[in-house]
Amino acid sequence: MILDKIIGYCDRIDGNLARYQNSFEAFQRDLLFQDACSMCIVQIGELVGQLSDEVKAQNPAVPWRTIKDTRNFYVHAYGSVDIPSVWETLQQDIPALKASCEKILNP
């Protein structure tokens, strides 16, 4: 299911963060760390685009459109991505998205 795949990418991000001890300094200097996390965000956005309108409508608290728009920005303007903003997404938005998806799957 699509929500399971989204959760899987959230877990991959969490694993990347753990590998680098959740260090913003490491994220700033390590392009591989940045690329790995950014690619997961892109994949999450792709998956959100595959969700049914019904799932999105039944869960309006999740910012589905923003997630998809973020994916589009990362893909089309990657050189302009603001590292602190990505870090904020990793720290706040990804855990919230994972929790929302888990709640949808297990109400």
* Residues annotated as catalytic (active site), given as ranges: 71, 76
What is the distance between the alpha carbons of residues 41 and 85, in angstroms, rounded to a whole number? 12
Among 27, 32, 31, 38, CA closest to 75? 38
3-state SS class at 51: coil
